[in-house]
């Protein structure tokens, strides 16, 4: 038995909520991969060639990776705020 019952609930929430959000994001990313648009036809074309068989392509940074990075940053900020406002001593 723990001294502080709220700590159990806080740990469950802090572990399950980011996991569920990540599962939803990965599901959305995998569901979106089969869709194609007219402007996506130009993304796979080689725009420049360099020596030693290096090439450059025009491909934007995936939206899912942007959402994952932003989500991790927001989660860290809110975790720090919640831990600080609830009076947890580190």
Query: Does the pTM of the predicted model rise above 0.85?
Result: no
Are residues 24 and 64 in contact, defined by beta-carbon separation less than 8 angstroms?
no
Are residues 16 and 24 in contact, defined by beta-carbon separation less than 8 angstroms?
no
Strands (E), the chain: 46-50, 54-57
pLDDT digits (tens, 9 = 90+) for 52-90: 878 887 666 677 778 778 888 998 999 888 888 887 666
Alpha carbon separation from 24 to 5, 28, 42, 69, 88 (Å, rounded): 29, 6, 29, 15, 30
Distance, first Cα to last Cα, the chain = 21
> How many residues make up the chain in this entry?
90
């Amino acid at each position: 038995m723990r001294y502080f019952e709220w700590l159990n609930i806080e740990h469950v929430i802090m572990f399950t909520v980011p996991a569920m959000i990540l599962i939803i994001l990965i599901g959305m990313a995998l569901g979106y991969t089969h869709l194609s648009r007219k402007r996506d036809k130009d993304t796979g074309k080689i725009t420049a060639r360099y020596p030693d068989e290096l090439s450059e392509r025009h491909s934007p940074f995936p939206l899912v990776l942007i959402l994952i990075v932003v989500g991790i940053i927001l989660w860290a900020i809110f975790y720090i705020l919640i831990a600080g406002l609830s009076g947890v001593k580190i």
